[in-house]
Amino acid sequence: MSAARLPGAHRPVALVTGPTSGIGQAYALRLAALGYDLVLVARDQARLATLAHDVEVRFGARAQVLPADLALAADRDRVAARLGEGVQFLVNNAGFDLSGEFWTLAPDALQAQLDVNVTTVVQLTRAAVPSMVHAADGTVVNLASMAGLIPGRGSTYSASKAYVVSFSQGLAGGLAGTGVRVQALCPGFVRTEFHERAGIDMGSLPRPLWLTVDEVVAGSLADLEKNRVISVPGAQYKAIAAVAGLIPRSLVTRLNRGLFNARGRT
């Protein structure tokens, strides 16, 4: 099995899901700047084409556009097939939250969230890792969240990110010594289209709690260098994660009922 370059190209290849905005776009641009060619996977074809053009002009990177709705099995299969040809870097970034109560949301919407946030991460990682192990080189970054480390605000979203954390940690253990790195990237609140798409009002969030997409990507890359499997970008969130790890789970549940508003988020 070879790690396939793009046709006629020699640079290593990174596949990024959800590069049409937010963290995925920043990660794709950074990887292009670092010398990768790109395979870009999302639904918005116009934005994919603009980004592909942008990285070619700015960084001389080749970019292959692979339009796909990752909630659909047939589309996931096409992306998995491309990964099976070999890439050196996979960023499982596409994901979304939903507003509204769990018991009022359409079952189809809940299933789509599970398929994009969890099934896609497992399927694409499974497709990408064999050629990485064969090459004794490769990196998988899975977008989790602080919500995956501290449960309770929202149900299915937090649970999906907890899956990604646990999956990445377990897989990293299994891959020890193979030369393949796996990371669960766990940002706090990041300024992207994420909350607007979900219909979540973030107007009252204190400014120091907002991260920029560039801070998140820089934190992820720095933690890869240090071989950290759980990456929490930003000093403020490192502190929150450390304290949260000391609080018993039963108390977290009570705090969520009392102190924080856990209603209206799924």
Ligand X SMILES: NC(=O)c1ccc[n+]([C@@H]2O[C@H](COP(=O)([O-])OP(=O)(O)OC[C@H]3O[C@@H](n4cnc5c(N)ncnc54)[C@H](OP(=O)(O)O)[C@@H]3O)[C@@H](O)[C@H]2O)c1
CB of 155 to ligand X, least distance (A): 15
Compute CA 51 distance to the chain's CA centroid, rounded to the nearest angstrom.
18
Distance of alpha carbon 184 from alpha carbon 200, whole angstroms:
24
**Does 23 engage in binding with ligand X (CB under 6 A)?**
yes
- E strands, the chain, are 13-17, 37-42, 63-67, 89-92, 138-143, 180-185, 189-190, 210-211, 230-231
Distance of alpha carbon 166 from alpha carbon 164, whole angstroms:
6
Among residues 78 and 249, whose Cβ is nearest to ligand X?
A: 78
**Does residue 36 contact residue 164 with C-beta atoms inside 8 Å?**
no
234 φ/ψ sector (left φ>0, alpha ψ -120 to 50, else beta): left
Which residue among 29, 90, 91, 143 contacts ligand X (CB under 6 A)?
Answer: 143
Question: For residue 236, which amino acid is it?
Answer: Q
Choose among 222, 219, 191: nearest CA to 207: 191
**Does 149 engage in binding with ligand X (CB under 6 A)?**
no
**Does 116 engage in binding with ligand X (CB under 6 A)?**
yes
Among residues 98 and 143, whose Cβ is nearest to ligand X?
A: 143
Q: 10: helix, coil or strand? A: coil
Active-site residue, selected from the candidate residues 36, 157, 163, 237: 157
Kindly indicate which of the ranges 52-60, 79-87, 91-99, 241-249 contains the residues binding ligand X, using the contact rule CB under 6 A: 91-99
Which residue among 12, 86, 95, 138 contacts ligand X (CB under 6 A)?
Answer: 95
Q: Which residue has the tokens 């020890």?
A: 176
**Does 43 engage in binding with ligand X (CB under 6 A)?**
yes
Kindly indicate which of the ranges 1-9, 183-191, 242-250, 254-262 contains the residues binding ligand X, using the contact rule CB under 6 A: 183-191
Q: 192: helix, coil or strand? A: coil
**From residue 264, how far is each of 119, 153, 194 by CA, in Å?**
24, 9, 16
Which residue among 11, 13, 18, 265 contacts ligand X (CB under 6 A)?
Answer: 18
**Does 121 engage in binding with ligand X (CB under 6 A)?**
no
Q: Please report, in angstroms and rounded to a whole number, the separation of the first and last CA atoms in the chain.
A: 41
Which residue among 94, 127, 128, 132 contacts ligand X (CB under 6 A)?
Answer: 94
Kindly indicate which of the ranges 20-28, 32-40, 219-227, 248-256 contains the residues binding ligand X, using the contact rule CB under 6 A: 20-28
**Active site (annotated) includes residue 157:** yes
CB of 2 to ligand X, least distance (A): 27
**Does 153 engage in binding with ligand X (CB under 6 A)?**
no
Among residues 3 and 240, whose Cβ is nearest to ligand X?
A: 240
**Does 77 engage in binding with ligand X (CB under 6 A)?**
no
Question: Where do contacts with ligand X occur on this chain (CB under 6 A)?
Answer: 17-24, 42-44, 47, 68-71, 93-96, 116, 143, 145, 187, 189-190, 192-194, 197
- Catalytic residue list: 157
